[in-house]
Chains A and B, each alone.
Chain A
Amino acid sequence: MNKYLESMRVMLGAAPRRPEPVEYTEEAKTIHFYKKNEKLDFQALRLEAHAHQKKRIWLKRRWITLLAINLLFTVSFWLDIQLLEGALTASRLLGFHLIDLNSALQVMLAHKHIIVNLLIGTGTVFVLWLLLGGRTFCSWVCPYHLVAEWAEKLHLYLVSKKIVSDHTFNRRVRTVLWVIFAALAWVTGYTVFETISPTGIVSRALIYGPGLALGWVVLLLLFEVFYSRRAWCRYVCPIGLTYGITGVFSPLHVTYKLANCHHEGECRKVCEVPHVLDCIVKGRAPAAQLDIGADCTRCGMCVDVCPSGALTFEIKGLRKLM
């Protein structure tokens, strides 16, 4: 099956498919054959993985980027230096329009009329995230993602203490909500989703000062801490799906190298969207090298924890070019 179709299918909520025997390349078959007889000390691998985790190069880079972008919005307004005006829903970088794709979609559906500035801003952002990987927006820009990461840490701690347990949902719920929110915008003529969008609420709160709407964000975080790990980003957020679709054909990926992998599974434990890492299960990868699917937020957590360099950031074509 076409890898892009499969990547879309999984993103929309289907379970990852186990490849048919004919889909395996000869190279992959050979690697799997030798791996079958490999005896690995998983405890040692795990320890190695945890030691590796300490550096967290990508986590640091990402947090710095995310904070820098969001603070630039705040500073631009407060110091009136006009570098990056507006909020995450729509802004101007040195005068150039940038418009959030999901907000733009909601406005276009609600208003049923598109002006040039809206088109320019949306087009620019579309190309930007097409190149940078779609959901890269989520983990590198969205301010809710960062607070949700902190909530996730707390959630995992409580889980380890057996105080709470994670309740998973059917991931198709996000696809259904995406369609309904789009339909609601069209039918009601109002951007209904924006009312509950924590991305918009947190972004505006950072720039224009906190408001009561932050209460909703707190409720969401409490839900994630005590009931379901990363529930908003995993099962609800239509912004994530919009950017996911944008990045289906993106050249920027986390790439999986079968030969390097020890299959100890540390990457899936830290991943926000572990279904994209189904290929790391022993015997699953149909090729020696694979691009991780479109639902991947390119957060780099897996790259950080992987003790054997099996997961790395790659830009398609760049290696050939250089």
Chain B
Amino acid sequence: MNTEKPTPPPKLVNKRKLEDRRRFLRSIILGAAMLGISTVGYIPVANAWKTRMRPPGALEEEDFLSSCIKCGQCVQVCPVQAIKLDDLDQGFGIGVPYIDSRSQACDFSCDAVQCILACPTGSLAYKKPAFLPTRSEMVMANPPILLAKEKDPEPTLNLKERTGLAVLVKPEICLARQGKGFKGAARGHEFKGTLRFMEVDRWKPIPLRDHPFELELCDLCVRTCPIKGAISLESVEENGVMIKTPVVHEPCVGCGVCEMVCPTEPAAIVVEARKGWGA
């Protein structure tokens, strides 16, 4: 620029005007590009391609998404690291917490649903405000009793709504229904998930692989369920034969432990996120 011959004043003005115009156009493009890119963030609201299971106490999805500040304090307090934060590839809810029960379920090792306590914005709440309605089928009939503290003066979990509901989605592969037993580590020796076993340690969850089972008839989902009366093995008649099958009851909060421990691949029983009782 400096090496150019001095240009006459009128031309100089034009040049500056031209640069101003270019800058103006550039600025509009920059603004539009930033807005365009950020609107992919709207995808989770427009119902993303994945239904995510949210941590306990989460508001209904729309309210949850609007109120979550994406700080991850719920992640930090979880003793079994069940809560993870979403990334770009999962529907663009970047930084929003979810639980993948199959890899690590919420087993209420914390006894007090600490993720709710940690949430600074009320996205996770013990008691929902009256103007943020919850679907009636999500509300528990009675406060859920945590088996781990059944003998405590206060045996219930401070949780009024379920996060989902366990469903036997693949009854044909369920070991119990086939009359099969189970021996060994529930999910193999590579599995990293942890679970609290009261008979091992009241306060410390241990890796599932370190707690092998030897069962005549597989009832892993029933025996590991942390909630009283949420699931049981029942005898039913099918095609004229009496078989045993896991049956989910109303106290199920949708914690996902049954899905994590289910030894079949894929899991015969899964938690359907945000599904209510009877819905």
**A residues within 8 Å of B by Cβ?**
76-77, 85-92, 97, 99-100, 103-104, 107, 110-113, 115, 117-118, 121, 167-170, 172-173, 176-177, 180-181, 184, 188-196, 200-201, 204, 207-208, 211-213, 215-216, 231, 235-236
A195 touches B71 (CB 8 A): no
Q: Judging by beta carbons under 8 Å apart, are A90 and B71 in contact? A: yes
**Distance A76 CA – B89 CA, assembled complex (angstroms):** 28
A59 to B35, CA, bound (A): 33
Neighbour of A169 across the interface among B27, B69, B87, CB < 8 A? B27
Contact present for A207 and B69 (CB under 8 Å): no
State the main secondary structure of chain B at its contact with A.
helix
Q: Is the CB of A190 within 8 A of B120?
A: no
Tell which of B66, B85, B122, B132 has the most Cβ of chain A within 10 Å: B66
A86-B71, A169-B30, A235-B27 in contact; A195/B40 too (CB < 8 A)? yes
Known: A97-B120, A104-B69, A118-B121. Contact between A181 and B88, CB under 8 A?
Answer: no
Q: How far is the CA of A107 from the CA of B67 in the complex (A)?
A: 5
Number of interface residues of B (CB under 8 A): 45
Main secondary structure of the interface of A (DSSP, over half): helix
Query: Is the C-beta of B271 less than 8 angstroms from some C-beta in chain A?
Result: no
> Given contacts A90-B71, A118-B122, is CB(A113)–CB(B27) below 8 Å?
no
In the complex, the answer to whether A191 meets B88 with C-beta atoms within 8 Å is no
In the complex the two chains form, what is the Cα distance from A189 to B44 in whole Å?
11
Q: State the CA gap A194–B89 with chains docked (Å).
A: 15
9 interchain pairs, CB-CB under 8 A: A85-B77, A85-B118, A86-B73, A87-B71, A92-B73, A107-B66, A194-B94, A195-B37, A196-B37
B182 within 8 A of A: no
Is B38 an interface position by the 8 A CB rule?
yes
Per the 8 Å Cβ criterion, residues 210-268 of B in contact with A are: none
Which residues on the A side are within 8 Å of B110 (C-beta)? none
Which chain B residue has the least Cβ–Cβ distance from A104? B69
User: Is B95's beta carbon under 8 Å from chain A?
Assistant: yes
B73 engages A180 (CB within 8 Å): no
Q: Is the CB of B35 within 8 A of A180?
A: yes
Closest to B41 in A: A195
User: Does the CB pair A189–B66 fall under 8 Å?
Assistant: yes
Partner of A177, one of B34, B66, B73: B34
* A93, B142: Cα distance in complex, Å: 36
Q: Contacts A97-B120, A177-B34, A235-B30 known; A190 to B44 CB distance under 8 Å? A: yes
What is the bound-complex CA distance between A60 and B63, given in angstroms?
A: 43
Q: Are B30 and A111 in contact, with the CB atoms below 8 A?
A: no
With A113-B132, A117-B122: A170-B23 Cβ-Cβ less than 8 Å: yes
